[in-house]
């Protein structure tokens, strides 16, 4: 049965990049269709509606040092990611992953003599270098400095340039964790650290979340739940924020706060944004999650696909918990 160009277009717009790349290399007809700008936009939109099937793990070290980068599939995922070992080896030796979206990763080279940013499709092995903000040419470690206020540069992909925001981002009295941004309600959100280095009379004594709206340039503080603030200065306390809810249901999307303290995971979901009201949805000890190791040390954790908690121990990625 012959298919029309529109039918081929719709079918291929749901395929992963690796499969599309193979068809493009073997067929002139497919190559012509797949090179259209509208197709690329359609395929990108469809990809955002799918759950992630795998995730990267890299050492928590400075951006100037190399570390082995691993790619792990989520449980029950049978399909190959299409990422070869030589790509992982290349990234491990020369780059650090800053963020990822829709099958693409934003990387920072680990060459200490210069700052270079590039976008990579690890499945097709295609890399695209993007210009470096001018303020980083002379001070290569400027992105590591955090103060009460910070300048913000936004990369405009269509123009291929960085644009400085006139309104500065007020970060509060604590250092923010810029490695885990959450975009929600028209603003980007960062959580602060938990270390006890401020006096009790400081409004920033306890950890908090700070948001920055790129449209109006306004900064806003969001308080974490009162229960989460208790014991937050404990050396074992680690709090992180993630996107909550499926991308296919915008009305149920929000921010979730995950706290790991004394080997206990506690998770809250922000239910009313303007009032900053939270609801606790989970509290569980790591031992109760059937972890194989006797005394597991959690080295990292994240919420994937809006409802899945994944954590790694010193030895391996040990468990995945479906959050209800």
Stretch 62-67: mean pLDDT, rounded? Answer: 62
Record the tokens describing residue 244, joined without a space. 């909550």
**To the nearest whole number, what is the mean pLDDT of the chain?**
80
User: Does an H or E element contain 86, and which?
Assistant: helix 85-94
pLDDT single digits (tens) 172-215: 889 999 888 999 998 999 999 998 888 888 989 999 999 999 88
Record the tokens describing residue 79, joined without a space. 């399909």
pLDDT at site 147: 39
User: How much of the chain, in percent, has pLDDT values that exceed 90?
Assistant: 26
Strand residues in 78-181 grouped as ranges (E) = 95-101, 104-109, 117-121, 126-130, 149-150, 153-156, 161-164, 169-170
262-to-79, 85, 160, 232 alpha-carbon distances in Å: 36, 36, 46, 11
Distance CA 249, CA 310 (A): 22
Say whether pLDDT at 219 is over 60. yes
DSSP-derived secondary structure for 246-295: -TT-GGG-EEEEEEEETTEEEEEEEEETTTTEEEEEEEEEGGGGT-SSSS
pLDDT single digits (tens) 227-243: 999 999 999 999 999 99
Distance CA 121, CA 83 (A): 9
Stretch 32-57: mean pLDDT, rounded? Answer: 75
Record the tokens describing residue 130, joined without a space. 């993007």
21 forms bridges with which residues in the sheet? none
Of the ranges 7-11, 228-232, 313-317, which is most confident?
228-232
pLDDT tier for residue 48 given thresholds of 50, 70 and 90: confident
Q: How many residues are there in the chain?
A: 324
pLDDT at site 242: 95
User: How much of the chain, in percent, has pLDDT values that exceed 70?
Assistant: 80
Q: What is the Cα 258 distance to its own chain's centre?
A: 14
Record the tokens describing residue 241, joined without a space. 């924020």
Closest CA to 305 of 259, 239, 237, 249: 249
pLDDT at site 148: 44
pLDDT at site 143: 44
**Which residues are within 8 A (CB) of 95 and not within 5 positions of it... i.e. 6 or more apart?**
107, 108, 109, 110, 118, 120
pLDDT at site 318: 59
For the chain, give every domain's residue range: 5-47, 54-145, 177-324
């Amino acid at each position: 049965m012959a298919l029309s160009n529109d039918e081929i277009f719709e079918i291929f717009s749901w395929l992963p990049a690796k499969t599309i790349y193979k068809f493009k290399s073997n067929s002139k007809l497919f190559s012509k269709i797949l090179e259209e700008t509208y197709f690329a936009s359609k395929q990108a939109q469809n990809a955002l509606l799918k759950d992630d099937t795998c995730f990267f793990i890299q050492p928590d070290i400075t951006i100037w040092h190399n570390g082995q980068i691993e790619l792990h599939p989520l449980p029950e995922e049978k399909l190959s990611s299409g990422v070869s070992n030589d790509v992982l080896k290349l990234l491990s030796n020369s780059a650090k992953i800053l963020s990822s979206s829709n099958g693409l990763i934003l990387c920072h080279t680990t060459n200490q003599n210069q700052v270079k940013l590039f976008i990579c499709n690890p499945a097709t092995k295609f890399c695209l270098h993007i210009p470096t903000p001018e303020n980083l040419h002379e001070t290569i470690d400027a992105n590591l400095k955090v103060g009460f206020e910070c300048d913000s540069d936004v990369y405009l992909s269509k123009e291929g340039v960085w644009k400085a925001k006139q309104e500065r981002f007020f970060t509060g009295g604590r250092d923010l964790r810029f490695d885990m941004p959450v975009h929600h309600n028209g603003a980007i959100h960062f959580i602060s650290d938990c270390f006890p280095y401020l006096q009790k009379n400081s409004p920033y004594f306890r950890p908090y979340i700070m948001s920055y709206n790129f449209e109006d340039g306004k900064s806003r503080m969001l308080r974490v739940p009162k229960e989460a603030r208790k014991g937050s200065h404990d050396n074992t306390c680690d709090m992180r924020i993630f996107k909550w809810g499926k991308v296919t249901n915008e009305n149920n999307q929000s921010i979730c706060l995950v706290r790991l303290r004394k080997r206990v995971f506690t998770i809250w979901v922000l239910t009313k944004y303007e009032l900053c009201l939270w609801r606790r949805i989970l509290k569980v000890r790591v031992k109760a999650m059937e972890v194989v190791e006797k005394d597991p040390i959690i080295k990292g954790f994240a919420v994937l696909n809006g409802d899945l908690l994944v954590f790694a121990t010193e030895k391996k990625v040990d468990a995945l918990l479906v959050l209800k």
